Structure formats: structure tokens, C-alpha cells
Amino acid sequence: METKIKNTLQQWIPGIQGGIETASDYELLHQLACSCINRIHLGTEEDLLWVEDIAKVVNVLYQSGNRYTKNAIENEFLCELVQEECPASLKLHMNLLPKELRKEYLKVILEN
């Protein structure tokens, strides 16, 4: 079944096609967060730009989403990023996220 999350990710993120039909929304967001973390660790300008682009897509989903979509993003995308959080990385992570999503990111940090 096509969901808003799957449909949006397929349209806006190149290369996400593999296995998307069988993965749940939560699994897709978790995999996407893990990919972002890996690219943040690599730290090249190209990788960080990729993470910014992904964050913009996730932000569009979040801002236009219903409660299910927002919960999925908070629980699987933002929570995964928070697991990597330390004082030295907070500024970088905040700069990679769109302004609107930063508030939610901080909320997830405080809740965890």
C-alpha cells in the first residue's frame, strides 16, 4: 500500500527505490536517518548537502503531515539522529535541519 511517506520519499529522494514496497514507513524513515548519520560522519561537503536535502524532504512531510506522519518522523528519523547527539555535534545537526524542524528536534532531545 502506498502511503504519503513512501510516495513522497520515492518522488524526492533518488536511489530509495530498492525495497521500498515491502518496508513500512517507520522502517524507511529509520533507514533514511541511518544514511544521514553515515553521511554526517563522512563529513564531506557533498555528504552534508545530501543530508540537508533529505532534511528538507522530511520537513515537508512533517509540516504537511497528519499525527501518524509526525509521530513516525519524530520516532524514527529524529530519534535516530538524537542517538548520535553530543554537545559538539548539536550546532552541526541544527544547521543541517530546516528552521521549522529544529524545534521538533530539540523537543525529541528533551524527551529522550
Q: Is residue 70 part of a domain?
A: yes
Please check whether residue 15 lies inside any domain of the structure: no
- Residue 28 burial class via C-beta count within 10 angstroms: exposed 0-12, middle 13-18, buried 19 and up: buried
Q: Which triple of cell numbers denotes residue 17?
A: 527505490
13: in domain:
no
pLDDT tens digits along 36-52: 999 999 989 999 999 99
For residue 75, what is the DSSP state?
Answer: I
11 falls within a domain? no
Quick one: pLDDT at residue 97?
93
Query: HSE-up of 59 (CA within 13 Å, CB side)?
Result: 16
Domain membership of residue 47 as a residue range:
24-111
The per-residue pLDDT for 1 is: 54
Report the distance separating Cα 97 and Cα 78, nearest Å.
10
* Residue 17, domain member (yes or no): no
Residue 95 or residue 86, greater confidence: 95
**Residue 17 pLDDT grade (very low, low, confident, very high; cuts 50, 70, 90):** low
What per-residue confidence (pLDDT) applies to 14? 72
Residue 41 counted as domain residue:
yes
Residue 80 belongs to a domain: yes
Please count the other Cβ atoms lying within 10 Å of the Cβ belonging to residue 30: 18
Residue 98 inside a domain? The answer is yes
Domain count, the chain: 1
